[in-house]
Structure 1
Amino acid sequence: MRLNHPQGAAAEETAWRFLQQQGCRLRVRNWHCPFGEIDLIVEHQATLVFVEVRYRQSQAYGGAAHSIGVTKLGRLQRSAEYYIQQHRITQPCRIDAVLIHGRQAPEWLTNITG
Structure 2
Amino acid sequence: MTDVVLTKQKIEPGKTERLKEWSEEVRERKDEAVETLQNEGMHAESAFIERTDDGDFLVYYMKAEDIHEVYEAFENSTHEIDREHEEVMRETLESVEDVGEYELLYHLDNPDLP
TM-score bracket relative to the smaller structure: 0.3 to 0.5
TM-score by length of 2: 0.37
| Structure with larger Rg | 2
What is the TM-score normalised by the length of structure 1?
Answer: 0.37
Q: Which has the higher strand share?
A: 1
Greater helix proportion: 2
